[in-house]
Structure 1
Amino acid sequence: MNYNTSSALLHLNKSTVKDAARGQWRTILSPLGVPLPNHGRHAPCPTCGGKDRFRFTDKHGNGEYYCNHCRGGDGLQLLQNYHGWRFQEAIQNVAELLNLEEETCQPFEFGKFDADKIAPSGNPQTPAPRHQEPAKPKRPPSNILQQWQMTRPASPDHTYLKIKRVQLCPGIRLSRNYRRLVVPMRCTENQLWGIQNISPNGKKTATKGSDKKGHFFPIKGQDDRALFIVEGLATGLSVHEATGFPVVVAFDANNLLPVAENIRAACPDLPLVIAADNDAWTDGNPGITAAMEAAEAVDGAIVWPEFEPGAETVAGRPTDFNDLQRLCGAEAVRDRIRELLPRGFVPGWIPIRGERVTEAASLAGGAA
C-alpha cells in the first residue's frame, strides 16, 4: 500500500475520522503496515522492539495499546510512532483507508444546532426517545468496514441515477465490481453501521450484518433551517435537489421513527419534515402511516406527493417524490412541499397553503 505522506493534505476533521474508526482499529492498523499481536497476547513493540513488552488492548475502541518501554497511546499515536508521520498524515491515511471523502469527513451539520447538542461521547444530552432502543453492540460489525474499504468512487453516470434522474452526492460509493451503488448507514457520530447496495435495476439489499435501525445516510444541504427525512435514496436526492435542504435517508418506512427520534435527540430545536411515500395503492398506505407516527413522535411536519389519476412511471404506479420529479419536474416537488408545510414551520420559508394533516390521516386510512 502506498501511504500518503504528501504535504498537500486534505483538511479533515479529526473527531469525525476518529469516530468513524472507533472499534475498527485492528482492521485499520494491519493494512497500514503496523504488525499487531493476536488478541490478549504480548509481543515486541512495533516502535521500540523488545520481546514481549507490547499489548494491543483497544480498550475503548480507539486503538489503545501499551508498551512497558515507550508507554501507551491510541491508534493514531501508534501510526505516528511507527511510520514517523505527523498527526495530520495519520488522519489522512486512516480516512483514505475508510474511504471517507473530504466532504464526508466533516460532521453532518444538522443546521446550527448540532455543535452543542451532542455530547463528546456521542450520547445525546437530552432524555431518551419515547421508543427506547435496545442497547447496541459496542462496535460496528467488522465485515461492514471491510466491504466499505473495497469500494470505489461512484460515477454520476451510474444506470440507477440516470433512471431516477438524480445527481450523485458525496458519500455514495461503488462496489468492487463497479455494478452496485454502495450507500452507508451512519449514526450521528458518522460511524458506519451498515451498507445498502443498489443494483442498476433498482434492487436494494443490505450487506449481511448491517444494523439499519436508527441509522441513515446523510445528504448535506445549503439551507440549514430544516431537515427532511425520507425512505429511499432517490426520494432523498429529489427532495434535496428541489429544496436545497439537508436530507437523511432512513432506507424504509419502518426506520422513519427510529431515525427521527435519534435526530430529534441530537437536535431538539431543529424543524424536522417527514417526506412520506404516498402508498395509495397499498392497503393502509404504509408510507403515510409510518410518516405520521414519526412526525407525531418528534413534533415534526409531514409532506407527501400527489398524482393525477392514471399517472404512471416506467416502474409502474407512482408513490414518492422521485416519481413526482420524473413526471412533473423539480419545481413540482418544491411547490408540493410548500403547499403542505404549515405556515411558519420553517423560519422564512413561506408555504403556499396551511396545514393539511387531517388529509394525511385520511390517506393513512386507505383513501387513494
Structure 2
Amino acid sequence: MTDKRTPLDFEAIRAAAVGNYVSTIFPAAGISFSKPAHQHQSCPMCGGDDRFRCDDKRGEGTWICSQCGAGNGFMLVQQYTDLDVYETNKLIAGAIGLDATSEVTDEQRTQWQSQQVEREAAEKAEKRQARIDAASRAQSMWDNAKPTTDDHLYLLRKGVSAIGLRQDTNDNLIIPMHYYNTDTKQTTLVNVQTIAPDSEKLFLKGGLVSGAYFTIGSAAMFSGGVILICEGYATGATVFDAMSYSLPVIVAFNAHNLIPVAQSIRAQYPDHRIIICADDDSATAIKMRDKDIADGKEPKLLVEYNAGIHKAQQAAINVAGEVVTPSFDTLEIDKDAA
C-alpha cells in the first residue's frame, strides 16, 4: 500500500512565498538570525561565524555564505530542514496559510506577479541611487585627497611606488575606479578603493565595482598595441615597473572582476593584444580541494579552486586574449602564451 501525497501547487506556493521568507517562513522552519538578516552573522547551516547574510533580493529570501555557497529562500529551508521538495513546499505553504485545499485564483496570481515587478523595480531604483551617491562620495574623496608618497606603509610593505594614487587624512590610499559606458562612450569615476596602512581594502558601499578599473600608465602608452590586466594595485605596479614603464596596466581589483574589466577594455581597444597577468593562488586552491575531500565532497578540478588562474583564463577566452603568470624575479611576457 502506497502513501499517496496530497497534490500541491508548487508554483503557487513559491509565488505566494515571495516577500514572506524573513518574517514568516524562516522562523517557521526553525531558522533564526542573531542580527538583522542582511548583516553578516553565523550561518544557520554550517554554524560558521560572520560568514552568512540574507540579502532577501526580490523578496525571495536570497542568502550568501562563504562556506555553503548561495541560494534562495526555498533552498535555505530545504538544506536546513533536510526535507525533500514536496515536504519543503508543504512547510512553506503551511507557514503562509496556503495548503492543498486553498484555491489560488487568477487574480491572486496576477497580484503576486504585480508585487514581484514592483519589488524588482524598487530594488533597481534603490541600487541605482546607491551607485549615484557612491560616485558622488568617490569624487569628493578624490578631490579632497592629497598625492601619495612612496613611504606609505602599504606601499613599503609591497615594495611598490605610488603611481596616480592619493591619500586621505587618515592615511588611507585612495585608488580611483573608472567605468566605461559602451553606450555613451564615456568614462567616469564611479567608486574608489581605499587601502589602510594595515592593508585593509574597502570599496564604497553601494558603489559600482563590476567593470570598474584603474589605469597605471599614460594614454600615450596605449599606442603600443599591448594592454596588461591584473587584479590588485600592488601586482599592477610591480608589472608596470617590470615592463620598464612602457605598457599600460589595468587594475581590476579582484579575480571576479577580470572578465567584466577585460570586456570593457576589449570594447575600447578591439585590435589590441590583451594579456591577463594572473595571480597564482595554488596554495589556497590545494587547501580548499583537500578540505572538500576531507568533508566527503567530490573534488573539482584543482584550477577551479584557484580563482586567480581560473578567472584569468576565462577572461582571456572571453576577449581573445592571453594569460601569463608573472614571476617577478625575472618577469617576461611570453609572446606565445595562450
TM-score by length of 1: 0.46
- Alpha-carbon distance in structure 2 between the residues aligned to 1:144 and 1:209: 11
Q: What does residue 168 of structure 2 align with?
A: 175
- Distance (whole Å) between structure 1 residues aligned to residue 215 and residue 202 of structure 2: 18
Q: Provide the C-alpha distance between the structure 1 equivalents of 2:214 and 2:138, rounded to a whole number of angstroms.
A: 15
Tell me the percent identity.
37
Deviation at 1:291, TM superposition (A): 0.2
**In 2, distance between residues paired with 1:149 and 1:209?**
20
Q: Which structure is richer in relative contact order (CA contacts within 8 A, separation 6 or more)?
A: 1
* Match status 1:197 vs 2:198: no
CA distance in 2, matches of 1:255, 1:146: 24
Aligned counterpart, 1:242: 242
What are the residue-to-residue correspondences of 1:95-114 with 2, within 5 Å?
Answer: none
Deviations 1:281-308 (A, max 9, x none): 1222110000000000000000003xxx
Instruction: Return the TM-score normalized by structure 2.
Output: 0.50
Three-state SS of the structure 2 residue aligned to 1:187 is strand
Provide the C-alpha distance between the structure 2 equivalents of 1:281 and 1:295, rounded to a whole number of angstroms.
Answer: 23
Q: Within 2, Cα distance between the matches of 1:147 and 1:176? A: 10
Report the counterpart of residue 148 of structure 2 in structure 1. Answer: 154
CA displacement at 1:137 relative to structure 2: 4.2
SS in 1 for 2:247: coil
SS of aligned partner of 1:229: strand
Q: Assess if the C-alpha contact under 8 Å between 1:194 and 1:209 holds in 2.
A: no
> 1:169 and 1:149 mapped to 2: Cα distance?
17
Alignment partner of 1:287 is 2:308: yes
The answer on whether the counterparts of 1:256 and 1:290 sit within 8 Å (CA) in structure 2 is: yes
Matches within 5 A, 1:1-368: 137=128, 140-141=132-133, 142-170=136-164, 172-177=165-170, 179-188=171-180, 189-220=186-217, 222=221, 224-243=224-243, 244-283=246-285, 284-305=305-326, 324-325=327-328, 328=329, 332-333=330-331, 335=332, 337=333, 340-342=334-336, 355=337, 357=338
More helix by proportion, 1 or 2?
2
* CA distance in structure 1 between the partners assigned to 2:205 and 2:143 by the alignment: 15
Q: Is the 8 A contact 1:143 1:209 kept in 2?
A: no
1:191, distance to aligned residue in structure 2 (A): 1.1
The aligned amino acid for 1:270 is: H
Q: CA deviation at 1:233?
A: 0.1
Greater Cα radius of gyration, structure 1 or 2: 2
**Superposed CA offset, 1:89-125 (max 9, x none):** xxxxxxxxxxxxxxxxxxxxxxxxxxxxxxxxxxxxx
Structure 1's 270 and 140: CA in aligned 2 closer, same or farther, altered over 3 A? farther
Deviations along 1:185-233, one digit per CA (max 9) or x if unpaired, are: 1023441110100112222111223211101000115472200010000
Structure 2 CA distance for aligned equivalents of residues 235 and 257 of structure 1: 17
Report the residue type matching 1:292 in the other structure. Answer: Q
- Provide the rounded CA distance (Å) in 1 between the counterparts of 2:169 and 2:210: 26
Q: Secondary structure at the match of 1:237?
A: helix
Gaps of 5+ in 1: 1-133, 306-323, 343-354, 358-368
CA distance in 2, matches of 1:215, 1:293: 18
* Structure 2 residue ranges without an equivalent (≥5): 1-123, 181-185, 286-304
Name the CA distance, whole Å, in 1 between partners of 2:175 and 2:163.
11
Structure 2 residue matching 1:168: 3-state secondary structure:
coil
Contact 1:144 1:209 in 2 (8 A): no
CA RMSD of aligned residues (A): 2.2
